[in-house]
Structure 1
């Protein structure tokens, strides 16, 4: 019998894991010794926080990040073919959402390995839930261009798409550029376009506000180095 592939959510910040993760996460980590992770050091730290008495030397971790050769990926699921279950751990939030885990999940389906998604926090859904914007039709766009002119063109494109489709447009930015992103949104969007900023989700410093682009021009909240999700919606 083949093992299963568990998609194991992690915290969005450095709060105690079981404050935001269900007990089912702890139970699965107690069972597994094989993991596919983005970063071995942080994965081991997370596992130790969730199950302190778990043997670290027995853990077998495969690293999956943007530098991993695609030809290596099928071998990461070898334990499943031998009858042992494997867990995928993201650096933050849910695996295979805006990270390379989706490639492994695709291979698991090809190999007829059962994929088991576990419940946990997703910054995309938490931000959308709390935005007051359209949660019936939405799109996640990842990162916008770094070049200032290209970024402004993309912001305008997303605004038009939102108006044409009545669709919320979600995106993220490297945390140290958050303040500039918000300033660009306020300067580029039409004054009445709604913008939600949701940062430090699930943490004591959580900040979630939805305002018009015009109102964000007077922003006083410092978003520097705080993981954030941006949502715009134009009616």
Structure 2
């Protein structure tokens, strides 16, 4: 009988203290316990996964010593032909945990390809509860949570990025739909500047940074207000910090 593919939530970033009691505020205890009992993992980043498991082991002893756990990487560079091999432990009857570098796996994450293949192989997939930066940002934004769309990364070219923002803003206005974006953390400032300068003055823009961490910051302002703040050198403290951008046109 094939094992179960568990979709394991990771933190959205760990504190310097790496304290286990803080983990309990983010990941349910039952999920921590189930994770600690697994011996096979497919991870976007093995190093990040080991750090997470080390933190978890402070309150939930691992099934095996860390060096004996099987942790295989699956990231954007993994060829499609390698996915079958990642399912091998499952077909041999082992349960496997799919874990993202941050947040929930298979959402804006290469793990989605493995989940799709697991369904094709009739392997049971079980998602576990944990933090999603996209949903947390949407919840806290005050924007439309009934209709929304996530678009990932926009073009890095300034002209193409502005064009895409205009397209999404028109869609937002027409459908009253919240638009969600992410950016490489060191380009956060460029993204907010592009949104503030391209969007209509009344369009609402939310910047959600370091969600669930002590440095968490969530601000929703009009494009006009963001533009004023940027001109006054009052940008959010979000340089090199994971950030979700959301906007809703009136």
Q: TM-score range by the shorter chain?
A: over 0.9
Q: Which runs of 5+ in 2 are unaligned?
A: 16-21
TM-score by length of 1: 0.97
* SS of equivalent to 1:185: helix
CA distance in 1 between counterparts of 2:26 and 2:68 reads 27
1:29: Cα distance to partner? 1.7
Aligned ranges 1:54-73 → 2 under 5 Å: 54=62, 55-73=65-83
2:46 pairs with one of 25, 30, 40: 40
Q: Please give the residue correspondences for 1:43-192 in structure 2 after superposition, counting only pairs within 5 Å.
A: 43-52=49-58, 53-54=61-62, 55-192=65-202
The Cα of 1:19 is off from its aligned counterpart by: 2.5
Instruction: Mark the runs of 5 or more structure 1 residues left unpaired by the alignment.
Output: none
Contact 1:179 1:222 in 2 (8 A): no
Shift of 1:218: 2.5
Deviations along 1:83-142, one digit per CA (max 9) or x if unpaired, are 110000100000000010000000110111110000000000000001111100100000
TM-score (norm 2): 0.91
The residue matched to 2:180 in structure 1 has which SS?
A: strand
In structure 1, C-alpha distance between the alignment counterparts of 2:152 and 2:205, rounded to whole Å: 16
Post-superposition offset of 1:27: 1.1
Q: Distance in 2 between matches of 1:152 and 1:47?
A: 41
Q: 8 Å contact 1:10–1:17 — kept in the other structure?
A: no
Matches of 1:170 and 1:200 in 2, distance apart? Answer: 16
Which consecutive aligned stretches of 4+ in structure 1 deviate over 3 angstroms post-superposition? Answer: none
Partner of 2:228: 218
Q: Which one of the candidate residues 18, 21, 31 is aligned to 1:25?
A: 31
Distance 1:69 1:205 in 2: 36
